[in-house]
Structure 1
């Protein structure tokens, strides 16, 4: 499968975007009043932590694929 440099750049940008957005969202969730009940983490926090973690893993994989595709396209050119 051949990925163009344009698609490789897009995949890399998605990976970077993921790491810019999700940690900030995680901080907002952590500071939310619904995240803790008398110092104990609530289901609200755990569900969002799981979603954020999964998104960061997926974003990392997509970003790495984008970088690898960019390098492969550069070698081919």
Structure 2
């Protein structure tokens, strides 16, 4: 399947958006009092959000790579 350039740009933008937004969200979770117990250990709140962020970054990366590959194949 060959993607149009328009769709390729959209996919790359989604990938970039993921890498702009999710690390900032991780920083906000890190600073949240609910993320750490009184002893300083990470709580379930932290681990659930860390897993969501990891999955979102993985999907964002995959979508961005597909967009780049689509852009390159549309040039040929």
C-alpha offsets along residues 5-45 of structure 1, whole Å, 9 cap, x if unaligned? 00000000000000000000000000000000020100000
TM-score using structure 2 length: 0.97
Aligned twin of 2:19:
19
**Partner in structure 2 of residue 56 of structure 1:** 57
TM-align CA RMSD: 0.5
Provide the TM-score with structure 1 as the length reference: 0.95
Structure 2 residue matching 1:11: 3-state secondary structure? helix
Larger proportion of strand: 1
Question: SS of 1:40's equivalent?
Answer: coil
Gap runs ≥5 in structure 2: none
Give every structure 1 segment of 4 or more consecutive aligned residues whose post-TM-superposition deviation is greater than 3 Å: none
How far, CA to CA, are the matches of 1:3 and 1:58 in structure 2? Answer: 18
Aligned pairs, number: 75
